[in-house]
Structure 1
Amino acid sequence: MAEPRPSRRQTPFFLGLALILATLPLGWFVFLRTSPPPPPPPPPPVVAPDVAPVVEKALELELTEVTGTVEVKSGDGSWRKAAVGMALRRHDQVRTDDGSYAVLIGGEAVEFRMDPGTEVSVEDLTKSVSRLLLANGMATAIVRPGVRHTFEVKAAQSDAVATLQQGGVFTMSNNGAGTVAVGTREGEVTLVGQGKVVIVRAGQQSIVRPGHAPSEPSQVPTSLLLKVDWPVDRTRRERELLVKGQTTPGSRVEVNAVRVTADADGRFERKVKLKEGANTVDVRAVGVGRLEQRDRAEVVVDTRAPSMKTDTDIWNQAHDDPQ
């Protein structure tokens, strides 16, 4: 017997039930699904911490050798006696007296050797740069091999500036009146003056005269000029002698160990006090090529009045003389 077909009244029921079942997932998604949490707020912007600018530590020049009379002046203070171990900083000054020497060391990078009668002030000191002002005299700057360091020496009363980068050795002189000389022993030195730049290589020297640019570098001569105008008569009645002469421009001159200023042409003069009897007058010249020349003379001083001969002395001398 066949199953009875559903009645027409049941058909709407099933259609409604099917619609309800079909809409259940949509209702759950719309009404019952838990809303996702809101997105987290964006992180605050990263602010870089304040970083202080890197400042190079100041370098100190230490006095490692002091011979004779050497003085130091700090800032605006007064000159005081120097001693081994003293540290020189920016704006400090140091000077050597006649016959005195000083050596300054800056860490493992630089060395500065001061001749007698030399004055220097410290302009700037860092690990990478040393700047000094040579007021007068002569000094030698040394930068150790393999060290990246700039050594700059400016001459007072002149616009001449000598600069050595990396390793090398050079000597600079300044007569304090605008005559400057530079001699290089190792490396290459840049010398600037009156808008002109020259490169002074090892074994060369250059001279700057007042109001002039540096001369073209030339080889350091094998001998140093020194000519002294000694008096013809070396026996004198005066206890004073004017010593005059000429040397290579830019050289350091000493008369009896006292520094004498030579002019732009190398001419110099100095009055020397003499004692009764025999005197040795010594003249010494040192060039920026570290060549040295000396000249000396023996001068006798006799200030005693000539003896007055009486008539008897003249009569006796006439009879004593052979006919």
Structure 2
Amino acid sequence: MAGSQNVRRQAPFLLGLALILAALPIGYFVFLREPPPPPVRVPPPPPVVEVPAPSKPVQLSLQKVEGTVEVRRGGGAWAAAQAGEALHPTDAVRTQDSSSAVIIGDEEVEVLMGAGTEVSVDSLTDELSRVLLETGMATATVRPGKRHTFEVKAANSDALARTTAGTFTMSNDGAGTVAVGAREGEVTFLGRGKVVIVRAGQQSVVTPTSGGPSEPAPVPTSLLRKVAWPDGRRNQRRIKISGEVVPGSRLQVGGQHFYPGPDGKFERIVELKEGENFVQLRASSVGGTEQEEGHYFKVDTSPPKKLKVDLPWGNSSAPPAPTQTESP
């Protein structure tokens, strides 16, 4: 009996001891074991940044050459131009009388050079191209959608025309008279601190004595205001033609181009040939208007023929000359 009582007394102790021993691993894992390291977070890959391709400047080249066209590299000598030649800044192109050339800038710009025109390349970038019109008349076409600005600056003047889409013509006499006419779209025309917008069918002119470009006006339908022709029958081979045209116009006579004064007045000496001559005067405007007027001249510079006079007393068959008798 005493033994069974001792067992019963020890039973709670043994049970508690068993519980304590059983709880030791749980306590270790709960309180003493180091917590597991946090999960490693892999950072997401950086976003892919598309690097734009480096921009390229517009490439100019000669695509069409008719007549006598010359090119000059930098400050070198003039040489015969060939279609397909590339043009770089400081290069220049000029056309002689009865000649023309077309300059292409990728698919964005086209410049048509008329006869007696000189153009040099000033700047070429991906966003802006600029050429310098030394003298003559040039027509520029800038195609839309390329976000490219094209400028034509006049030499010996601060006049400048620019557009991002359209067709315009600039004329420069090389002495400060510059005209701009728009055929498509619109063009910004600057000079002497003044800015005007020239729209299709309009033109504007700046002269050395004006305060800037004139207010844009419709392209005139008539250019020759008056022309003074000399008499048609001549005994000299030189004649003088004078008159007045719309300021900013360009004139041509005898295959040669020239410009009137800032007020439109002009004088021109023309050489004629012996015999029949037809002299044609042509006027052109930046708006595309052309007008012609001509006159016939007959030149005879041969000396007058000598007159032969037969005196009656010099002929033996003629009656004798009368004699004078004295009266008594």
User: Same fold by TM (over 0.5)?
Assistant: yes
Match of 1:274 in 2: 272
Match of 1:200 in 2: 198
Match of 1:158 in 2: 157
C-alpha change, 1:314 and 1:160, in structure 2 (3 Å) is farther
Contact 1:225 1:246 (C-alpha < 8 Å) held by counterparts: yes
1:246 aligns with 2:244: yes
C-alpha change, 1:21 and 1:146, in structure 2 (3 Å) is closer
Match of 1:4 in 2: 4
Contact 1:226 1:293 (C-alpha < 8 Å) held by counterparts: no
C-alpha change, 1:209 and 1:16, in structure 2 (3 Å) is same
* Whole-Å separation in 2 of the counterparts to 1:191 and 1:314: 84
* Whole-Å separation in 2 of the counterparts to 1:149 and 1:13: 98
* Whole-Å separation in 1 of the counterparts to 2:220 and 2:311: 61
User: 1:270-321 CA distances to partner (integer Å, 9 max, x unpaired)?
Assistant: 3222322233222111111111111222233333333444553899xxxxxx
C-alpha change, 1:177 and 1:55, in structure 2 (3 Å) is farther
* Whole-Å separation in 2 of the counterparts to 1:26 and 1:294: 115
Contact 1:59 1:89 (C-alpha < 8 Å) held by counterparts: no
Report how far residue 205 of structure 1 moved.
0.9
Identity %: 52
Contact 1:61 1:89 (C-alpha < 8 Å) held by counterparts: yes
C-alpha change, 1:54 and 1:155, in structure 2 (3 Å) is farther
Matches within 5 A, 1:80-95: 80-95=79-94
User: 1:122-143 CA distances to partner (integer Å, 9 max, x unpaired)?
Assistant: 2233454332111111111112
1:67 aligns with 2:66: yes
Q: Which amino acid is the alignment partner of residue 63 of structure 2?
A: T
SS at match of 1:72: strand
Matches within 5 A, 1:60-139: 60-139=59-138
Q: TM-score, with normalisation over the residues of structure 2?
A: 0.80
Report how far residue 206 of structure 1 moved.
0.8
User: 1:130-159 CA distances to partner (integer Å, 9 max, x unpaired)?
Assistant: 321111111111123555432221111111
- Structure of larger gyration radius: 2
Q: Which runs of 5+ in 2 are unaligned?
A: 314-328
Q: What is the CA RMSD across the aligned residues, in angstroms?
A: 3.6
Matches within 5 A, 1:220-231: 220-231=219-230
Report how far residue 38 of structure 1 moved.
8.9
* Whole-Å separation in 2 of the counterparts to 1:314 and 1:258: 59
User: 1:157-188 CA distances to partner (integer Å, 9 max, x unpaired)?
Assistant: 1111111222x221111111111111111111
> Greater shift after overlay, 286-295 or 148-157?
148-157
SS at match of 1:298: strand
Match of 1:318 in 2: none
Q: Which amino acid is the alignment partner of residue 117 of structure 2?
A: T
Contact 1:236 1:299 (C-alpha < 8 Å) held by counterparts: no
Match of 2:322 in 1: none
Report how far residue 208 of structure 1 moved.
0.9
Aligned residues: 312
Contact 1:71 1:81 (C-alpha < 8 Å) held by counterparts: yes
C-alpha change, 1:149 and 1:7, in structure 2 (3 Å) is closer
